[in-house]
Structure 1
């Protein structure tokens, strides 16, 4: 039975410090018998000050955090679902922009898949927090899955959680596990984190693994934590609460077939008729 490790961390504004924490987590995951490690959104750099963060956001091939995590994955022979990094990209004839990119690294240190976050977090909360992710990041436009030691993995990032169409597509792709790395705010986390994660697992009849940022960060934000592993029936197998650290969960892939036989919602799904105009 494959075993997953889940890193709950408090990323800061120094990529070198974050990289050291990630490398240590890869080694600890291996020691704990994990086949794959899941890390949160923005594992390499979490900084709301875009002027300060800008010089540290580089192209994928130049990213020092990605380089050391790939080396660690190869050294310890562990897969890593690197929740996301801020990556600089540049289209032909276009100015440089950023993407919020999830990277799947195999046990040889090779990049097995890339997913750019589709849905931008542009909100004003009653707490006074205001976020405009689209002000610096370009949205992705591709649904991504890949075969891993925990079966077929569907990649998403944080705010994607609120958009069922993406998860419908991942369900149609027969994903066994959905990765939902996050840096959820505390107000939205308290209100919606658990119920949405459980709903996505139930809808897709798949495991959800949601590695999260937690606590007080150097840039002044607070994140909710509660990294979760949810089974296809919607049962919470792991809730890491509000402390940074590493958790483990067994991913019983036979459970997926049991649930899909008992409640065949994927097989019974129908196309919705087009709206009348």
Structure 2
């Protein structure tokens, strides 16, 4: 199945971001992608942490969710909608950072709420997601059926989740064929750890990894690392976009996954 990671440099303006996402999803679909993933906060990179609360939607209703459903149906693709903020009942000061997946008819097939909330302070940059977000609790995977009838089990994760291998181990029961990471990695942490961690997740779980990232300088002054990429089960890089908007295309070959797991049956050797 051909897959695509979309890289964006999202702004504080929702309408602008939706139009850019629409164009990039269309580009990926025109290139033959059947599964397309947007980055974390594709819909907004606000000037303040609380800006996301102003556009938070009620689950099942709102212009961001409507656009995702329309794009999936228009192009007949599996669309992993990066993340968007969803309201939390009874708590106006927090939202969930949620990844919604829509199938080829536009139907909602999965929702994953980011479990691990990022906190970072190097004396110059400070982030604390728990100030505005509520964490999720459960790992989420879904099955995507390609036009040829091939089925992929796809595990979902978001940005800081990448540092917690136990989440991906949980997603391997039963094993996934593809792990997806939507992200807005900071430049310093991305430069140090992004590719290293993604390749490790691919190798230890013997599956493909698709990572869709924010990548560039944003209107709020933040610079994100970018390097949206796809890795195969042996840790081989299949595609990488350093910075700026664009699409990374690759093929998920289940034959290759089977070959790796047969030659080196590490998943069968797990003890803990």
Same fold (TM over 0.5): yes
Q: 1:111 is matched with which residue?
A: 108
Question: Secondary structure in 1 aligned to 2:104?
Answer: coil
Query: Does residue 59 of structure 2 align to residue 60 of structure 1?
Result: yes
Distance (Å, rounded) in 2 between the aligned partners of 1:68 and 1:119: 27
Task: Spell out, residue by residue over 1:121-158, the C-alpha distance to the aligned partner (whole angstroms, 9 max, x if none).
Answer: 012125x1100000110000001010013600000000
Question: Secondary structure in 2 aligned to 1:142?
Answer: coil
TM-score w.r.t. the length of structure 2 is 0.94
Q: 2:77 is matched with which residue?
A: 78
Q: 1:138 to 1:48 in 2, by over 3 A?
A: farther
**Preserved contact between residue 16 and residue 65 of structure 1 (Cα < 8 Å):** no
Distance (Å, rounded) in 2 between the aligned partners of 1:28 and 1:57: 27
Q: 1:18 to 1:60 in 2, by over 3 A?
A: farther
Q: 2:158 is matched with which residue?
A: 157
**Preserved contact between residue 22 and residue 69 of structure 1 (Cα < 8 Å):** no
Q: 1:263 is matched with which residue?
A: 264
Runs (5+) with no aligned partner, structure 2: none
Distance (Å, rounded) in 2 between the aligned partners of 1:52 and 1:117: 18
Q: 1:52 to 1:171 in 2, by over 3 A?
A: closer
TM-score w.r.t. the length of structure 1 is 0.92
Distance (Å, rounded) in 2 between the aligned partners of 1:125 and 1:228: 27
Task: Spell out, residue by residue over 1:55-82, the C-alpha distance to the aligned partner (whole angstroms, 9 max, x if none).
Answer: 2222233331221121121111111111
Q: CA deviation at 1:16?
A: 1.0
Consecutive aligned runs of 4 or more in structure 1 exceeding 4 Å deviation? none
Q: 1:41 is matched with which residue?
A: 40
Question: Secondary structure in 2 aligned to 1:60?
Answer: coil
Query: Matched residue pairs, number?
Result: 266
Q: 1:238 is matched with which residue?
A: 239
Distance (Å, rounded) in 2 between the aligned partners of 1:144 and 1:51: 27
Greater Cα offset, 207-216 or 165-174: 165-174
Q: CA deviation at 1:110?
A: 0.8
Distance (Å, rounded) in 1 between the aligned partners of 2:174 and 2:219: 39
Greater Cα offset, 221-230 or 96-105: 96-105
Q: 1:275 is matched with which residue?
A: none
Q: CA deviation at 1:89?
A: 1.9
Runs (5+) with no aligned partner, structure 1: 272-277
**Preserved contact between residue 228 and residue 240 of structure 1 (Cα < 8 Å):** yes
Q: 1:143 is matched with which residue?
A: 139
Q: CA deviation at 1:51?
A: 4.1
Q: 1:48 to 1:262 in 2, by over 3 A?
A: farther
Distance (Å, rounded) in 2 between the aligned partners of 1:241 and 1:153: 24
Question: Secondary structure in 2 aligned to 1:12?
Answer: coil
Q: CA deviation at 1:48?
A: 4.6
**Preserved contact between residue 100 and residue 117 of structure 1 (Cα < 8 Å):** yes
Q: 1:6 is matched with which residue?
A: 5
Distance (Å, rounded) in 1 between the aligned partners of 2:222 and 2:66: 27
Aligned pairs (5 A) from 1:186-197: 186-197=187-198
Distance (Å, rounded) in 2 between the aligned partners of 1:53 and 1:201: 31
Q: 1:48 to 1:138 in 2, by over 3 A?
A: farther
Task: Spell out, residue by residue over 1:189-236, the C-alpha distance to the aligned partner (whole angstroms, 9 max, x if none).
Answer: 110011100000011111000000010111221100000100001111
Distance (Å, rounded) in 1 between the aligned partners of 2:55 and 2:190: 28
RMSD, aligned CA: 1.3
Q: 1:199 is matched with which residue?
A: 200
